[in-house]
Homo-oligomer: A and B are copies of this chain.
Amino acid sequence: MNSIALKGISKQFGDTIALKDISLYFEENKIYGLLGRNGAGKSTMLNIIANRLFADSGEVTVNGLAAAENDQAQQLIYLMSEQTLYPESMKIQEVFKWTKNFYPNFDLAYAQNLAAKFGLDTKKKVRSLSTGYGSIFKIIVALSVNTPYVLLDEPVLGLDANHRDMFYKLLIEKYSKSPSTFIISTHLIEEVSSVIEDIIIIKNGTIIKNESCESLLSKGYTVSGKASQVDAFIEGKEVIGIDRLGGLKTAHIIGDLDRCQVPDSLEVTKLDLQKLFIQLTNS
């Protein structure tokens, strides 16, 4: 089966353990959400896959090829990251051409079309872009490279809501027409939840969840009401977090919900992905 496979990947920076013995598959033609708090190890993982960092131990393979120091494997991967690797004095249209040299399937016409849609002037130099347009420029390259695996590290940083909405729609459109694997690392979890199929949550360098978005969401719910009634209801259940406001209490619960069990005085709502994430990763 074609995939990116991580086997026993560990990485340490000085005394800080960034990744602890990570084993993981990213299958072909799937959209993944790689979620974690600041410093959890997401970027380290993506950088190791894309050969920008070396693991201390373990191995990454891409469709069976060793990923480290291997151009043949790296041609299958594109990583959009916060650091810009292009010369800052290059014009955007030059970057497009330059990218096509390394990624022959880069679709120049599509990239120019996207630039027009986002209102990005391709005659501008990379260094002249604002944070938002810097992200837009990198999103456009990522959507146009046509590699089997596209890794997006914080793709929507600095984008306004309209441009984020446009990006999510373009991603789904692109994926529907010609499926490939997208791995999206983002802090805007609720927004991305309608785009991603599988979720990988990383906490302190360890994978704590790896399952479908649908399955994860089906297991969480929230109960609110008078503190005493909430306390009675949650006894014996797996409570992952509690909020208090005056005499009221809200409990976030993992487990199957039997609606018949819930007294009328308590309000039950679905736990959304962002709230679930916060509860699972709070220290």
Contacts and interface: CB of A to CB of B under 8 A. Distances in A.
Interface of A: 37-38, 130, 132, 157-165, 187-191, 274, 277-278, 281-282
A283 to B, nearest CB: 9
Contacts of A38: 130, 132, 158-160, 163
19 contacts: A37-B160, A37-B162, A38-B130, A38-B132, A38-B158, A38-B160, A157-B158, A158-B187, A159-B187, A160-B187, A161-B187, A161-B188, A161-B189, A161-B277, A162-B282, A164-B187, A188-B188, A190-B190, A190-B191
Contacts of A159: 38, 187
Given A162-B281, A164-B187, A190-B191, 15 more contacts: A37-B161, A38-B132, A38-B158, A38-B159, A38-B160, A38-B163, A157-B158, A159-B187, A160-B187, A161-B187, A161-B188, A161-B189, A161-B274, A165-B278, A188-B188
What number of copies of this chain does the assembly contain?
A: 2
A33 to B, nearest CB: 12
Contacts of A188: 161, 188
Contacts of A132: 38
A162 B277 CA distance: 8
Contacts of A187: 158-161, 164
Contacts of A282: 162
Contacts of A158: 38, 157, 187
Nearest to A164: B187
A165 B164 CA distance: 20
Contacts of A130: 38
Which residue among A132, A162, A281 has the maximum number of chain B CB atoms within 10 Å of its CB?
A162
